[in-house]
Amino acid sequence: MTGPGTATRRGGRRFLHYGDLTDGSRLVTLLSSIRPDEVYHLGAQSHVRVSFDEPEFTGDTTGLGTTRLLEAIRLVGLQCRFYQASSSEMFGATPPPQDEATPFHPRSPYGAAKVYSYWITRNYREAYGMFAVNGILFNHESPRRGETFVTRKITRSVARIRAGLDDTVFLGNIDAVRDWGYAPEYVEAMWRMLQADEPRDYVVATGTAHTVRDFLGFAFAHAGLDWERHVRFDRRYIRPAEVDALVGDASLARDILGWAARTLPPELARIMVDADCAALDAAATTPTGDRPVAPAPVPRLGTPA
């Protein structure tokens, strides 16, 4: 909610409301007029590299923004359920596998701000009895992923190289290990957390470990390309402190929520490459002015596991 606003649905229509996580009084007026049953707090300055350049803004939005939202709920007297988008970045330097009992050791202003938000969410649960939960989500991707995050940067480059529009993509540390899942499945996990009988915090992850190098292999190979011919190193993408390895253990989510990841990184890379290639092909055959600006829609979810 640092941008144009929140969405509410009444009578089949969706409303966007302006609001900002740095504007506490606006959050109060918004919540008192919407009176939601469920609040999914996903707003943040969410780019880890950018958080080193804008640490204060990141702390204000990603950290204090959560307190403003929780406090607005409390002041309005809402009985709503609250979801906090906590992050695997909170684990930072603590080695994998990481679960709900793993100690935090954040390695960026973003990770530190998320740790603050995690604890303020728990504090409102314990102090005021709010149904407030932390979903500790590991990296979750889709064709809608922002273009500056590494998976989408790669799949977009694959599409452009395949189309002859580019030849090279510049990356930083390709030895970093991540646990990449498919975002629509993770949204389902978020929803399940708010339907549970008791408020608890959950790790959401696939439990698989891949390097950025692996993801390059999956994405380029899907387009019949050799990534080593097209990838160059650029030190500007190196972070002052790196998170070397994140691999989640989502056993609790499986046992209590009945949730498990279904899409693993090789398939995820194929979904994203296909969407970026299709968007580029559509742009090439659509008259200027009518060109699509968004990537292809994410496929609908099947029956939950």
Output the smallest distance, CB 96 to ligand F7E, in A.
13
Asked if 116 touches ligand F7E (CB under 6 A), the answer is: no
107 near 95, Cβ under 8 Å? no
Asked if 98 touches ligand F7E (CB under 6 A), the answer is: no
Known catalytic membership, residue 110: yes
Catalytic one of 86, 87, 108, 157: 87
Fill in the per-residue mask, 232 to 251: x = in contact with ligand F7E (CB under 6 A), - = not in contact: -----x-x--xx--------
Query: In the complex with ligand F7E, which residue's Cβ is closer, 167 or 281?
Result: 167
Q: How far apart are CA 22 and CA 34, in angstroms?
A: 19
Among 2, 61, 87, 155, binds ligand F7E (CB under 6 A): 87
Q: How far apart are CA 182 and CA 31, in angstroms?
A: 30
For 211-239, letters b (16+ CB in 10 Å) and e give ebbbbbbbbbbbbebebeebbeeeeeeee
Asked if 208 touches ligand F7E (CB under 6 A), the answer is: no
Q: In the Cβ-directed half-sphere of 157, how many Cα atoms lie within 13 Å?
A: 25
Output the smallest distance, CB 71 to ligand F7E, in A.
23
The residue range among 87-95, 118-126, 256-264, 269-277 that interacts with ligand F7E, by the rule CB under 6 A, is 87-95
Fill in the per-residue mask, 119 to 148: x = in contact with ligand F7E (CB under 6 A), - = not in contact: -------------------xx--------x
Element housing 178 (H / E): strand 177-178
92 near 110, Cβ under 8 Å? no
For 111-136, letters b (16+ CB in 10 Å) and e give bbbbbbbbebbbebbeeeebbbbbbb
Output the smallest distance, CB 133 to ligand F7E, in A.
16
Among 70, 113, 132, 150, binds ligand F7E (CB under 6 A): 150
For residue 242, which of 135, 137, 45, 110 has the smallest C-alpha distance?
110
Asked if 107 touches ligand F7E (CB under 6 A), the answer is: no
State both tokens at 290. 């009518």
Asked if 201 touches ligand F7E (CB under 6 A), the answer is: no
DSSP 257-286: I-------HHHHHHHHHHHHHHHHHHHHHS
Catalytic one of 89, 124, 142, 186: 89
- The binding site for ligand F7E (CB under 6 A) comprises 46, 48-49, 87-89, 138-139, 148-150, 153, 171-174, 176, 178, 212, 237, 239, 242-243
Enzyme catalytic residues: 87, 89, 110
